[in-house]
Amino acid sequence: MYDIEKLRRSFPQTSIYKDKSINSIFKAAKIESFLRDWIIRKKAGPDGRITDTDELGEYIKRTIPRQEERSKLEDAARTDGETRPFLAKVNISFNSNANYYCFELPDLGFNYNNTIIEDYVWNRIKNDLLKESGGWGLVKLGYMPPEENKKNGKFTLLDFKNFCPYIVNLDTYRKSRENYDDPEEWMDVLLGAIDYCSDGFKKPGMLNSDANFIIVYTYPKSLDL
């Protein structure tokens, strides 16, 4: 087992505390692990723990809307001209017959048939989109009304910022590694970084949900949400 305080001193900006009750909130919301870790790091207090679970649930709901909130997003796009920024998984495709890019938000039910990325927006955000052929990002939607006597109204992608909250920084990792002389202790740290706790399972593959967790090779970037 590793020393928790030593771990936090070695990786002050990327260590987080995993709590069974907190993890259950993310599992219920079907939040992917990298998003879970980012949210925990963002919302945790000075001791690394999250105490207000109600506020956490509201933050998740507000930041990562689910399918049942699609109607509210559609209404905001149509009535207000744009939605609030939110995190979503975005896939892109090129419609060669109509000569425009379109997108889908699979978790929200928006598909290629009813979406479009206008050229002026595409030219501004394409580097972020093409970097991952889409992927998770900070999204804002709008609405393009149908042309006269046509049923071709579409939801538009107004903005996309690639969700990449961490940058790999091996120098920081190597420097922190110097604090660990005991190979077994260092191995425990590595196991913690991949959702395992060396003292928490009796056989390979058994996860202790109360384990402390650390992102050992990255440096956090700021993302306003």
In this model, does residue 183 exceed pLDDT 90? no
The DSSP-derived string for 50-84 is ---HHHHHHHHHHHS--GGGHHHHHHIIIIISSPP
* pLDDT computed for residue 198 by the predictor: 56
* pLDDT computed for residue 216 by the predictor: 42
CB of 44 within 8 A of CB of 214? no
Angle, helices 33-43 vs 20-28, to 10°: value is: 130
Angle, helices 53-63 vs 20-28, to 10°: value is: 30
In this model, does residue 218 exceed pLDDT 70? no
* pLDDT computed for residue 60 by the predictor: 93
Please report the beta strands in 78-217, taking only residues with DSSP state E, as ranges in sequence order. 86-95, 100-104, 115-116, 134-144, 154-162, 166-168, 212-214
In this model, does residue 112 exceed pLDDT 70? yes
Closest to 215 (Cα-Cα) out of 180, 181, 166: 166
Q: How confident is the model at residue 221 (pLDDT cuts 50, 70, 90)?
A: low
- Give the SS3 label for residue 218: strand
* pLDDT computed for residue 224 by the predictor: 65
In this model, does residue 222 exceed pLDDT 80? no
pLDDT digits (tens, 9 = 90+) for 145-173: 998 878 889 999 999 988 876 677 788 88
Give the global pTM. Answer: 0.75
pLDDT digits (tens, 9 = 90+) for 41-89: 888 888 778 889 999 999 999 999 999 999 999 999 999 999 999 999 9
Q: How confident is the model at residue 1 (pLDDT cuts 50, 70, 90)?
A: low
In this model, does residue 215 exceed pLDDT 80? no
The number of angstroms, rounded, from the C-alpha of 193 to the middle of its chain's C-alpha atoms is 17
Distances (CA, A) of 63 to 47, 94, 99, 102: 24, 28, 32, 23
* pLDDT computed for residue 132 by the predictor: 60
In this model, does residue 219 exceed pLDDT 60? no
